Amino acid sequence: MAFVKNIFDKNFIEYASYVIRDRAIPDLEDGLKPVQRRIMHTLFQMDDGRMQKVAGVCGECMKYHPHGDASIYGALVNLANKEIFIDKQGNFGNKYTGDGASAGRYIECRVLPIAKEFLVTNKAITHYVPNYDGRSLEPEVYRAKLPLVLLIGAEGIAVGMSTKILPYNLLEVIDAEIKCLKGEEFAILPDVSTGGLIDVSNYNDGNGKIITRAKFDTSDEKKIVITELPIDTNAKQLLDSIDNAYKAGKIKISSVENFSTDRCNIEIKLPRGVYSKDVEDALYAYTDCEKTISCSMLVIKDNMPVVMTATEIIKYYAKKLTAIIKDELEYEKSKLSEELHLRTLERIFIEERIYKLIETQKTSDDVTKAIYKGFKPFAEELVRPLTDEDVEHLLQIPIRRISLFDINKNKEQVETITKKLKEIARKLKNLTACAVDYLQGMIEKFRKLEKDFLEENKQFSLERKTTVQKFNAVDIKAVVQRNIPLRYDDKGYLGTKVSGGRELLKVTPYDRILIVRKTGIWGVQDVAEKIFVDQGMFYCNYAEKELINKVIFTVIYRDPATKYCYIKRCRISGWIMNRDYNFAPEGMEILHIDTRDTFDFTLKYVKKPRVKLLEETFNAGNFEEKGLKSNGVRLSTHETETVIPSPVEEGNLF
CB of 509 closer than 8 Å to CB of 486: no
- Is 106 assigned a catalytic role? yes
Which residue, 295, 320, 293, is CA-closest to 309? Answer: 295
pLDDT at 15: 59
Query: Residues 15, 73, 96, 106: which is the catalytic one?
Result: 106
* 3-class DSSP state of 209: strand
What is the rounded CA–CA span in Å between residue 133 and residue 186? 45
Please state, in angstroms and as integers, the Cα–Cα distance from residue 448 to each residue in 118, 146, 325, 443, following that order. Answer: 16, 18, 23, 9
Q: How many CB atoms lie within 10 A of CB 86?
A: 22
Element containing residue 346 per DSSP (H, E): helix 310-351
| Integer angstrom CA distances of residue 381 from 197, 340, 341, 344, 385 | 67, 11, 9, 8, 10
| CB 195, CB 467: distance < 8 Å | yes
Nearest Cα neighbor of 80 from 130, 132, 115, 127 is 115
Report the chain (654 residues): mean pLDDT per 10 consecutive residues. 59 59 82 92 93 94 89 93 90 90 94 92 91 91 93 85 91 94 92 92 92 91 92 92 86 89 90 87 89 92 90 94 93 89 81 76 82 82 84 77 70 86 91 93 91 81 90 68 84 87 85 89 90 84 88 93 92 89 91 91 88 88 89 90 81 43
Q: How many CA atoms lie within 13 A of 328 on its CB side?
A: 20
Q: Which pLDDT score is estimated for 78?
A: 93
- The helix or strand, by DSSP H or E, that contains position 423, with its residue range, turns out to be helix 407-429
How high is the pLDDT of residue 611?
Answer: 77
State CA 251 to chain mean position distance. Answer: 27
What is the model's pLDDT at position 10? Answer: 58
Find, among 58, 39, 37, 54, the residue nearest to 101 by Cα: 54
Q: What share of the chain is helix, strand, coil (3-state, %, to 5)?
A: 35, 25, 40
47 forms beta bridges with none
Q: 70: buried, middle or exposed (CB in 10 Å: 19+, 13-18, 0-12)?
A: exposed
- Going edge to edge, which strands form the sheet with 255-258? 215-217, 223-228, 266-269, 255-258
Q: Is 348 helix (H, G, I), strand (E, B) or coil?
A: helix
- Report yes or no on whether pTM surpasses 0.95: no
Residue 520 CA to chain centroid, in angstroms? 52
Q: How large is the greatest C-alpha to C-alpha distance in the chain, in angstroms?
A: 161
